[in-house]
Structures are given as structure tokens and as C-alpha cells.
Structure 1
Amino acid sequence: MEPLSILTFIILIFLSAFFSGTEIALMTTSKHAVSSLVRENRFGARSLEIIKGNTDKLLITILIGNNIVNTASATLAATVALNLANASGLNQEQGMVISTAVVTILLLLFGEITPKTICTRYSVPIALFVAPIYRVLMFVLTPISFFIEIFLKGIMKIFGGDNFVKKISYQEVEAFIDMSHEEGEVEADEHRQMKNLLSLRDMDAESVMTPRVNVNFLDMEMTVDEACEFFLQHSHSRMPVAGKNTDDVDFMLTFREAFQLRHDGQGKKKLSEISLEKIMKIPLTQTLDDLFGKFQKSRRHMALVFDEFGGTAGLITMEDILEEVFGDIKDEVDQEEIFMKKKSDTMIEAVGSVLIDDILEEFGMRADDLEIPSEYMGETISYVVMAEEESFPTEGVEVIFGNDDEKLSLTVLSVHHNVIEKIECRKILTEEQK
């Protein structure tokens, strides 16, 4: 009788290991991994997909099996321990203490810790192997699990409903991406792009748009031929069309449409005389992830950004959003803009968006020595000229800073729609320096 009892006890320990270990394997295999296994037509994948589709019933089946096995093993161990105690002259209390200690150690070591460690490491192959077995067990235990499920649903209603779905937070996704990068599963570029993609929900249109002063607008009074030439000068694939002013923008024109109109013999027509596409308009506060969805649904690539007063704040394109994720994107019409062109040691031709700090650095000059107001530091040279003139500047306007020892001259070279495009920056030398 004793050898048979020991054999039965070993089988029960094995079954305890089976239920404990496979629970880990089945629960840690994600639904995405299961879908991939089904597409690969792996053995057991279809059964795995079915049982993972009802995790409540699966967990109930595992717990029923595990509890039956553990209860049976404890009962059997107690019986064997009492028989051994009687045969060896020990009292029943001593036999029960010994049996409890032995069963606890064996169940922990061989029924819990070891199988769970193994199944954690080899979760997918083990899950595939045991899925057909659990599919049968779930069917066999349906009468019991059915009543348990009803009971659990009643309990869940008390704690906020039985339709609870666990949502993965952005913080968890970010943590997972960081962990994958640290473990070498995700390359540095991929890690950066995924993090940038998640950050789109926290960024608004204002943060990436091209400000109005830097936007090129077509004019309703332009002819199609003039619009074509304007496209060639500025290398854009689409542009907004302004009416009375740049706050009056309702339409847009693409490079392709303009040249098609010219090809069709409508080159002399004004843009106000032809049918133009409506431009998408969005507020400054529009988040980039929502805007990206709007671009996709409407099949558009450009939107006008308006401020709280309804005026034009700037322009944003699909490319602006993509560049936030993937970095700078160059296409066949992009040209490398030259912000500063050094003509000589004392002369630089710069665009209006260059900072006054950069000009001083190039010339090796100091703002304090030139008596440049501190509030100008960190500002663009076009802002400095406009602030000094206190008006919209015209071509040829010159602003000079400095003293008898050294001077800095800023001369406006070109202006477009009240926006300074180019400025000549000169370091004026004294006779002694010359």
C-alpha cells in the first residue's frame, strides 16, 4: 500500500507543477504573440487563441485543477504520515507536523517554484503544447466553471461592473519601450522614433507650425502664370492663397494644379476666377496626434493655423508632424537654406531670422562694447532692426551700434510683405584698425 501511496503522491506533485507552471506560460503569452502564431499556423496556436479568448474560464479551470491536486496531496500525505507515525512509535501530533513540513517543502519546490521558473523562460512553446489539453479540460469542467463565473460576475458588479477592461497607460508603453531599448531589442533610432510618436499627444500645432511671417502666400489677384513662377521661386508643393490680406485665407493651390491650369491654357486667368480647393483650418491648441488623424481622413497635407482672434497664426503640414517623429525629411524640391554668407572678414549677408548673438560671435564682438541693449540678446536681427526703427522697415534702412572704437552696421537688403528677408551685417573698422 505504501509504494502505491508514494507513487500517487508523486503524480499529484507532478500535476500541481503542471497547473502552476502552465498558468504562468498561458498568462504571459500576449494576444499579439498568439495572433502571430496563428498566422504561422503553429501546432496548438488555434487552441491557444480559443482558450485565451475566455481568460476567466481558463483561470477558473486552472484553479480548480490546482486546488483539487493540492488538497488530495495534502490528504494523502497526512494519511501516510499517520501510518508511519504509528509504525515508528510516534504520536499523531508529531506525525502531522512532519507530514505538513514535508508536503509544504515538496509543493513549494517541485509544485510551484521550479515549474514556474521553467515556464517563465519557455512560455510560448509550453503554452502551445498545453493549449489543446486545457481546451479539453475547460469543456469537461464547464458545469462547475459556469456557476463560478456567474458568482464572479455578481461580485464584479458590486466593484464597478463586469465589463471592466484593463487599459494600458502611455507611461506603461513608454516604460516598455525604454526597457526594450536597454535590453538591446530596440535600436537607438527606433527608440527615439517611438518616443517621439508617443509625444505627439502632448504637442500642439503652435509648437511645430511655420509662423505666418515665414509663410509664402499666393495672392488672389495673381494670374496662374504668376503663381507658377512663384512656385518655382519658393520650391513648395502647395501654398495658401490670400485674399485682401494674410488673415483672409480660405483656399489653397498645389504646384501640380497650377501647372495643369497653365497647360490647359488658363495661364492668364486670375486665381480669383478659378475654382480653388478649400484649405483646412485648425486652432493653435490642436494636438499633433489628432491633427495627423485629420490629415489621414481628409487626405490632405496642409492646414492653416488660426489664433484666438481668428487671424492667421501660421501653417502646418503633414511633413512637419512626420519630422517630429523621424527627424528632418528632405525631398526632391528641398534646398539647403544658407542663413549666413560671409562676404569678407568684415561683411556677412544673413537672413532676417539669424540671431544677433550669432552675428556678434562671427565678428568676435561683444554686445556690451557696442552698447547693444540687453533685451535684444537672443532676438533675430530683423527684430532688432524693427525695434530700433519702431516701424516696418524698407530696403536700405541702416541701424548702427557702437562707439568710436568699433561699430556694427545692419542694413536691410530685401523686404517681402513687411518681412525682412536679408540684412547686410558689417563690422565698421576704425582708421587704426584698417
Structure 2
Amino acid sequence: MNDFPISTLIIALLAMLAGVAFFSLAEISMMALNRYRLKHQAQQGHKGARLTQSLLARTDKLLAVILLGNTLMQTGAATLGTLIAQRAFGIHNDTAIGISTGLVAFALIIFSEATPKVIAATYPQPIAHVSSYILTPLLKLAAPAVWFINILVSGLMHLLHLKSVQHSHTTSIDPEELRIMVLESGHMIENKHRSILLNLFELENITVDDVMTPRHQMEAIDLEQPLDELHKEFATAHHTRIPVYEGNPDSILGIVHARKVLHLTQANEFSIEKMKEIAREPYFIPAGTPLFTQLQNFQQNKRRIGLVVDEYGEIQGLITIEDILEEIIGEFTTHAPGQLNSITRHEDGSLLAEGSCLLRDLNRKFGFSFPLEGPKTLNGLIIEHFEGLPETGTCMKINQHILEVISTQERTVKVVKLKL
């Protein structure tokens, strides 16, 4: 080294600092890279992305070559700093040597470590792609040293009963992580599309009880009526698939499609017996079934409508595949008159709602925070709160929301006033 002029040593020192900066850039950019975007770019034929993906597939070797290069460069920088101080101020000038060591350490921290790592974390994709062109041949040149390092690391990992990096690394994510990715997508995904994706994640947490049409609101037809009345009910029905029964509405005989009724009418074959023949056997769904599971069951059983029953076989309500689809993409069908849970907004901002309104709908559409673990409707929530039917005019506060009972009917709360 004594044969080289100081200027050459300074240039070599700067090269060493640049080398440390490069390995710092490469390490952070590779680790901070979006693996899914990288995979997409590689599939599109981007050469840098393919090289980067190949390096990340061997993470243990990648980290080994970065560590090896970084360590050699840092050691070389420290050595050159000492040599330059000795050549400039004398071999026995401990103060100069100490100052030079401090300056080299400062340069390493600021210019070769902190700043490059911040830059790499901010722009990981382009830096990783460029770095891959240099790291790929370096990995081949340093293969023996990398192999030796990995042998030692693997042995130590085995002693600690830990999996090596290449085995533990995976790009798979769980549903909650995917949900967070969708939430954090920002402008990358349109609001409507983001809403649909988030609703899909919620299907596993929502049950058929939450979206079914309650039993007392179901449109069903009694076959024991006179034929004229029966024909009139089918002609004015608001649905294409209608449950039918004989006398007892709790005992559904089947589901009749309005199109088949029309065919019978056109053929002058409309009769009770024919109605029973065309009625499809009812499809029963256990209460508490998650919506996602039920969507799959509808698909497997090739059904579009089902009756929700409790553990005793009592009918609780009715659910259709359209009800589930509306939970995903929002409402897109009209409701039959008399079945719509009417909600009226007053000038003072308060709401007048029927007791049969679903709590989930109120939370979603108006920003309320009613509990969803117990009762599903306003009526059920109020009755549970008072452990009985309250009198008209009774006020209460539930989850910081003020409710007033406007009217009751028989054993239910009919109309409620809510203050936002």
C-alpha cells in the first residue's frame, strides 16, 4: 500500500463507501419489494423483475452475498481510512488515526447506510431491478464463499431448531392480510370494487339470520283458498318463486315458480292438484349458516331460495341467492310493497323506522353502532333491552343512540324514532 499515492487511496476509500451504499440499497430494496407486483412484472416479461424474482427465490444465498460484500467493503473502508491517516500524519499519530476512524465511521453511517436504506425503502422496485443485474453475477463469482456461509448458518439454525429463510419464506397471505391490502389500496382500486371485495371478506362473518326475510314478512300462498282467490294471489305476487302451504303457514309444502303457474293457466289446467305437482320440495337451511357457505350450498344444490329453520325445525325466515348477492354488490332489486322496512328522515335529522328494520342495515346505511351479536332487528333489540315490551313514548339510550318507542302492536314494537 505504501507504493500507492494518497490520492489513489482516497479514491479507493470512496469506492469502498460506494460499495457499502450499494449493498445497503440492494438489501433493503429486495426486502421491501412488493412480491405480488414483482410476480406480475415477471409474468409480463420484465427482465429485471425476473432476475429479482430469481434472487428472492434463494433468499439465503442473496443475503449471504450481500452480507459478504458489505462486510468486505466496510473492512476495506476502515483499513484505508487508517492507512490514509498514517501516510498523512505519521504512523504514530494516534490522535489523527482516531479522528480518521471516526470520520470513516460517520461516512459509513450517513452516506453508506442510513441514506441509501431510506432511499431503497422509498423506491424499492427500480432499485431492486437495477441491483439484480449486479448481484446475479456476484452470486455466481462468490458461490464457494456463499456456500460455506450457508453451511454454517444452516448448522446454527438447526441447533436453534429454526427453519432456514428459504423454507420459511412464503408469499401466501391469510384473508385478514388480504383485507388490509384492499383497505390500503387507495386509488389503485375503485371505491365500488373495493367495497365489493370487502363485502366478500365479510360473508364468512355474516349468517343467513342476518339477511333473511323474517317468517312474518314472507310472501306465501295458502292452497286451501278458492281457485279464484288462489289465481288472483299468484297473478299479483311480487316474486317469481313463492312458498305454498295448506292451512298451516308453518308447514311449507314447496316452492312454486310463477312461470309454471302461467303455463297451467294458459293450458286451462290450473288446480290445487296441479299446484302440488309443480311445487318443488322446499330446501331447508340451518340457522346460523355463514353466507359464504350458503352461497356455495346454493351453487352445489342448484337452488335459489331456501327456508331458514332453527334447531327444532321451526321456520325462521326465507333467504334467496339475490339476498346474498346484494350483500356483496349492494341492493339492485326492488322490494315488494309491505315488505320494505320503511325508514323516514325528519327535518331535525331523526329517523322514523319500523321495528322490523335490520340492525345491520341501520349500521351500514346510517352509521349507527348497534350490537349485532344478539337480536337482529330494532324490535328485538328494544325488547331485549327492557326484557319485555315497553310502553309507547318510552325513551332509551343504546350504544350512545337515543331511541323512542312511537307505537307498539300486540307483542312487538311497531315504530321507533332514532336520533343520529
TM-score, normalisation: structure 1: 0.65
In the alignment, the residues of structure 1 paired with residue 308 and residue 55 of structure 2 have an alpha-carbon distance, to the nearest angstrom, of 50
Show the 5 A alignment for 1:167-186. Answer: 176-181=181-186
Show the 5 A alignment for 1:120-199. Answer: 120-140=121-141, 141=143, 143-144=147-148, 146-148=150-152, 150-151=154-155, 153-154=157-158, 157-158=161-162, 163=168, 176-181=181-186, 189-190=192-193, 192-199=195-202
Contact 1:210 1:316 in 2 (8 A): yes
* Letter aligned with residue 108 of structure 1: I
* Letter aligned with residue 241 of structure 2: R
Q: Which residue of 2 aligns with 1:35?
A: 39
Q: Which residue of 2 aligns with 1:44?
A: 48
In the alignment, structure 1 residue 70 sits paired with structure 2 residue 71: no
With over 3 angstroms needed to count, the CA separation of the structure-2 counterparts of 1:27 and 1:100, relative to structure 1, is same
| 1:33-78: CA deviation from partner (whole Å, max 9, x where unpaired) | 0222123322322222322333343333322332232233223323
With over 3 angstroms needed to count, the CA separation of the structure-2 counterparts of 1:246 and 1:223, relative to structure 1, is same
In the alignment, structure 1 residue 111 sits paired with structure 2 residue 112: yes
Show structure 1 runs of 5+ residues with no match. Answer: 341-351, 356-372, 389-419, 421-434
In the alignment, the residues of structure 2 paired with residue 223 and residue 139 of structure 1 have an alpha-carbon distance, to the nearest angstrom, of 89
SS across alignment from 1:34 = helix
Contact 2:20 2:113 in 1 (8 A): yes
Q: Which residue of 2 aligns with 1:284?
A: 287
With over 3 angstroms needed to count, the CA separation of the structure-2 counterparts of 1:273 and 1:171, relative to structure 1, is closer
SS across alignment from 2:288 = coil
In the alignment, the residues of structure 1 paired with residue 226 and residue 250 of structure 2 have an alpha-carbon distance, to the nearest angstrom, of 21
Show the 5 A alignment for 1:270-419. Answer: 270-274=274-278, 276=280, 279=283, 281-330=284-333, 374-376=390-392, 384=409, 386-387=410-411
Show the 5 A alignment for 1:201-220. Answer: 201-217=204-220
In the alignment, the residues of structure 1 paired with residue 261 and residue 17 of structure 2 have an alpha-carbon distance, to the nearest angstrom, of 80
Q: 1:20 Cα deviation (Å)?
A: 0.9
Show the 5 A alignment for 1:249-288. Answer: 249=252, 251-255=254-258, 268=271, 269-274=273-278, 276=280, 279=283, 281-288=284-291
Q: Which residue of 1 aligns with 2:9?
A: 5
Q: 1:28 Cα deviation (Å)?
A: 2.1
Paired residues in the alignment total 352
Q: 1:309 Cα deviation (Å)?
A: 1.9
> Which protein has the larger Cα radius of gyration, Structure 1 or Structure 2?
1
Q: 1:211 Cα deviation (Å)?
A: 0.5
* Letter aligned with residue 111 of structure 2: F
| 1:177-199: CA deviation from partner (whole Å, max 9, x where unpaired) | 55444xx5555555554444433
The CA RMSD over aligned residues, in Å, is: 4.3
Structure 1 vs Structure 2: percent identity of aligned residues?
27
* Letter aligned with residue 102 of structure 1: L
Contact 1:20 1:112 in 2 (8 A): yes
* Letter aligned with residue 209 of structure 1: M
Show structure 2 runs of 5+ residues with no match. Answer: 343-353, 358-388, 394-403, 415-420
TM-score, normalisation: structure 2: 0.67
Q: 1:163 Cα deviation (Å)?
A: 4.9
With over 3 angstroms needed to count, the CA separation of the structure-2 counterparts of 1:379 and 1:152, relative to structure 1, is farther
